[in-house]
Amino acid sequence: MNSISSSSAFSPSANSRIKLLIKVLAYFIGYPTKDEPISSTIKHLEYFERLTIFFRVLRFGFRQTKPVETLNFPIKTSSTLDYNNILMRICYSLNLVRLFIITYTNNETLQIHLGDIVYRSKDRFQLNILLTSSMLILAVAREWALALESKGKMSSLNYYDYIRINGFKADYLNMTQHQTNAFRTTVHITAIFFSRVVVSTGPFVCIAYYSVCFTNPYYYKYYYLTITCSIWSVIICYSFITLLAQIFGFAGYLFIMTMIYLHQLESLIEVSQFVRYSGQDQHIQQFIRKTIICLNNSETNSNKMKYFIFYAFTVCAFFGDLFTFYGLIINFYSEMLATLYATMGTLIFMLLGMVCFVANGFINKIEKVYANCHGICKSNKLSIATYLKIFEFMDRSVVPINGVKIGDVTVIQKTFFVKFIMEIASSLMLITINLRQYFE
């Protein structure tokens, strides 16, 4: 009896702890509760948009075709001189020149005047090379993203402009009601996650910058270096914060653009299972027509972003290999720095793996629709016109252009991740061997 009473007494507390843990995890992930209204998702979506417009990730947010004057918060139009954007460009251009001079000069007086935070450090050259290349790559990606918007290649975001006004309507989104609800959950989580990432860039950059400053003994020894590092810290931190926020914000936009077509394909899988047993030519032809339209729209969107995705994927893979080599192979004088590089390289590899896993979902879902079309042909006696429509889709779905394209090379798959990483790793190994005197 005592054991029964003790277990019954323990069970409610255990259940409450489990429920509390689930609530905490749901809060950090951003998972919406059952009673949370759709207006909450729209609120988080608009908050993400305001953040990205503030950091000039995109100038017009979700509204890519309609007049921006009708938005309920002020932003700059293309005909207005955008002083914030100009300030960002001046700051990171000035920092690029400064970092280039610091990296390749041996004049210690000039290094002090320019606020070299790794002054006389044994790892000074490697760190400054890393900072210079990182800022240059981020600046190129940032200008490229703005150029894509100015050319009208972000038109898929108009779906979210409609959602902001009218909510999640299954008919407009070309999804089933089940997938519309799942899409709303995905958008809710994505908006919260990327908003938190964009906001966290400020504390992250400041902590990283001042940690390097405070661990340099010459920062305290030479007061003039203390002053110059403190003055330059404003421009440096501002540049890196804005650039990182812009890149993470644009990654959020790319992700939510991809999710539209993924959930549309998932809806087509559900519809194909219904059509398979209905056996009506009209329903089957309508299903095939919507499927081809979905594939064409996703291919069009992929073509717009393929070169930017190739650039981003190549850079991330290169830096992932570079950080791994820096942290595990090249002998750094600072063990903490080597551990930091190895950790960053591991995180980049995990991120690329997740991206490949999500992108591979396109191919998997198209294969499921293709298999269901085989079932439709076997289970029903259809007209010749319907058979031709089905064969048209089946021919369209087996071409190697379906999925998230990475340049003109291929589409992203699970196996592509390993091959691409190994190719860059082998190239980086050759560079390291031939230039090893610079790392000693």
Residues 6 or more apart whose CB falls under 8 angstroms from that of 304 comprise 148, 153
With both helix axes pointing from N to C terminus, report the angle between 335-379 and 384-397 in degrees, rounded to the nearest 10: 160
With both helix axes pointing from N to C terminus, report the angle between 414-434 and 281-328 in degrees, rounded to the nearest 10: 20
Residues 6 or more apart whose CB falls under 8 angstroms from that of 360 comprise 403, 412, 413, 414
pLDDT in tens, the chain (440 residues): 444 444 444 455 667 777 677 677 767 667 777 777 888 888 888 899 999 888 888 888 888 764 434 444 444 444 456 778 888 888 888 998 988 888 888 888 888 888 888 888 777 887 888 888 888 888 898 888 888 888 888 888 888 888 888 888 888 888 888 888 888 888 888 899 889 989 999 898 888 888 888 888 888 888 888 888 888 888 889 999 999 898 889 988 988 888 888 888 888 888 887 777 766 777 777 888 888 888 888 888 888 888 888 888 888 877 877 777 777 776 566 677 777 777 888 888 788 878 887 788 778 888 888 887 777 777 667 777 777 777 777 777 766 667 777 777 777 776 776 776 676 667 666 666 665 555 55
105-112: long-range contacts at Cβ-Cβ below 8 A with a sequence spacing of 24 or more? 112/222, 112/224, 112/225, 112/228
Q: CB of 123 within 8 A of CB of 332? A: yes
pLDDT of residue 334: 67
pLDDT of residue 76: 42
Question: For 333, which DSSP code?
Answer: S
* Residue 401 bridge partners (DSSP): none
How many angstroms separate the CA atoms of 345 and 316, rounded? 9
432-439: long-range contacts at Cβ-Cβ below 8 A with a sequence spacing of 24 or more? 432/325, 432/329, 432/330, 438/125, 439/126, 439/330, 439/331
CA atoms lying within 13 Å on the CB side of residue 123: 18
Tokens of 159: 């779906």
**Sign of the CA dihedral running 149, 153, 155, 161:** negative
Q: CB of 405 within 8 A of CB of 306? A: yes
* Domain extent listing, the chain: 1-30, 37-253, 279-440
Q: CB of 48 within 8 A of CB of 191? A: yes
The residue written with tokens 């240059």 in the block is 136
H or E element, residue 410: strand 410-411
Q: Tell me the residue length of the chain.
A: 440
* Residue 411 bridge partners (DSSP): 405
Q: CB of 87 within 8 A of CB of 288? A: no
How many angstroms separate the CA atoms of 385 and 387, rounded? 5
* Residue 405 bridge partners (DSSP): 411
Q: Name the 3-class secondary structure at 411.
A: strand
Tokens of 260: 């539209």
Residues 6 or more apart whose CB falls under 8 angstroms from that of 78 comprise 59, 150
pLDDT of residue 175: 87
Q: CB of 51 within 8 A of CB of 195? A: yes
How many angstroms separate the CA atoms of 8 and 420, rounded? 55
pLDDT of residue 266: 87
How many other CB atoms are there within 10 angstroms of residue 186's CB atom?
Answer: 18
pLDDT of residue 386: 76
DSSP string, 349-410: HHHHHHHHHHHHHHHHHHHHHHHHHHHHHHH----HHHHHHHHHHHHHHTSTT-S-EETTTE
